[in-house]
Chain A
Amino acid sequence: MLKMSADPLLSVEDLRVEFPISSGVLGSGTAGTVKAVDGVSFNLISGETLGVVGESGCGKTTTGLAILRMLGIAGGKIVFDGKDITNLTRGQMRPIRKKMQMVYQDPFGALDPRMRVRDIIGEPLIAHAEAKEKAKYRARIEELLDIVGLDARMGERYPHEFSGGQRQRIGIARALALNPKLIICDEPVSALDVSIQAQIINLLESLQKKLGLTYIFIAHDLSVVQHISDRVMVMYLGKVVEIASHTELYKNPKHPYTQALLSAVPTPSPDAEAQREVVLLEGEVPSPLNPPKGCPFHPRCPVARPECSVKAPEVVVDSVGHQVSCHLFS
């Protein structure tokens, strides 16, 4: 739906992140590797919101951290704002960090309890030497507090004096401090009350319009993702199973896993709820230490065929850009 520029802001190709499981007395041996992110590819157009959903442990957050280069990358390529950042050093990454920020899941853990709110929000400015003039620095912090709907006087306080929703606003203000292009929201509302969730989502949406932000919105709650996303990416066991625009995905989910996820979303109307067909998945998510051969979803898939356990499905893209990895469509 958003086809403004041909060049994507972010393009991720075949991204792989692996965690070695060390063994032995000195931690020298390797018992195996967890493929936390295994060949993830997607593009992100400037100004859009990509929702990322999946069960816990499917590699959503790891993907986000890898894009920020907070983790070692085992393979693949990340191009951000026209620049390949896959192999940049710490020092080379520093100027780029200004343009990509993160909002964290836990509003209690994300703010240093020993710092005043104004220092928390101002820290990115200080880190990038944009706090030279005291008056400008103060004005910027007040502006940021105002943008996220907090009183300028609240900057004097400490994080423990705020509620969860207010803290999340502070986290957002910090992320906005350096005028970033991309914000990775790692389950920013899952720790909040439902009523507060809506406020934060609305805040994020209005900020996006005002400041032209691009979001990667990680969540495990499909209804939240449906509301805010332009496109939705479904992940399972470190792999992308489906990417589609949010209307297309919710109307026409192709992958059996997506169908199961969608059927698990409760509906607010009791009548509709009674008629809702629920696809129940059996079993557990397999260990990423030892993922199943072929399609990673086949042991739990209600419509698995013999070939599913033999070879991994190809990525198929249809005419409306609906991408799915499933043998049913290849």
Chain B
Amino acid sequence: MASILLFVQHSHGKVLKGTLAALQAARELQSAWGASGIVGVALGPQSKTAAESMVAFGLSSVRYSEDALFEKYRAEPYARAIALAANDLGASSVVGLASSSGKDALPRVAALLDAAQASDIIGVNPDGSIKRPMYAGNVIADVELVAPSRVVTVRGTGFAPAGVTTGGGDVAQLSLGGDPELKEQPRFGEVVSYEMSKADRPELSDAEVVVSGGRALGSSDNFEKVMFPLADAFGAAVGASRAAVDSGYAPNDWQVGQTGKVVAPTLYIAVGISGAIQHLAGMKDSKVIVAINKDPDAPIFEVADYGLVADLFAVAPELTEVVKSIRTSA
């Protein structure tokens, strides 16, 4: 069987940790599907650096393009270039991290390749079928991709990051001449503006510790006063329940759950979160879960390793102080 193309997602040349999780999925698919090898494509500013760093991970051939078309992420040129790289490198299947751009571009690649698409996979079975969650994680489906060409996005928390290995090959620029439509730039539209959430804390999907606040915080002031110091004491990322985001206490991209981010940190601390199934879908694979809630019957306690039934406004600041003193003395 032909090879598998990895969409190498990176930030200014630095490969995302989730890309290595996607590579691990690609390695498992390679063995289950009998694919001949794994190749890669990286796009955008400093993608050459990203492409070169993937050689150590055994990719037999990596293409990159720093063309102005890819300066800012846009689904249309990215999808076209990924499909072009797959054709150039003789890959019939494409694998990438289910980040917001992976989820946006890769199904579009599937349409271009007339491929079977599976999103957000969490496992690979020896017979080549894949595992993915459905119904807010209440059901796991084993699905078969029955088209000759296949595109898969990978949930970063579902696979351990791949390690370095031998067998790495060449890095070369992707020749864009193979797709005349790539030059029809006006059709792709343009990025007008980008508004970043405050990013002075670890990235939610990557963090070792996540502290999440719920509706019980009562206001965005309280959210900031209680959750931010707690996060900083742990060196944690801040998440939020849907109710907290809907109430305007936290920005949209902090939402943990079925329709937001899926996280699986070493430690997850839910503060004033009742634990709706949509929220549990986004955090129940965390290694250790701590819940602080004054309602002893809150469903969050059914998944928590340690539950503290208490007023969050009393215990969260106390926890902050204790953790701060432990970490400074350590």
A binds B: no
Spell out B's residues near A (CB within 8 Å): none
Spell out A's residues near B (CB within 8 Å): none
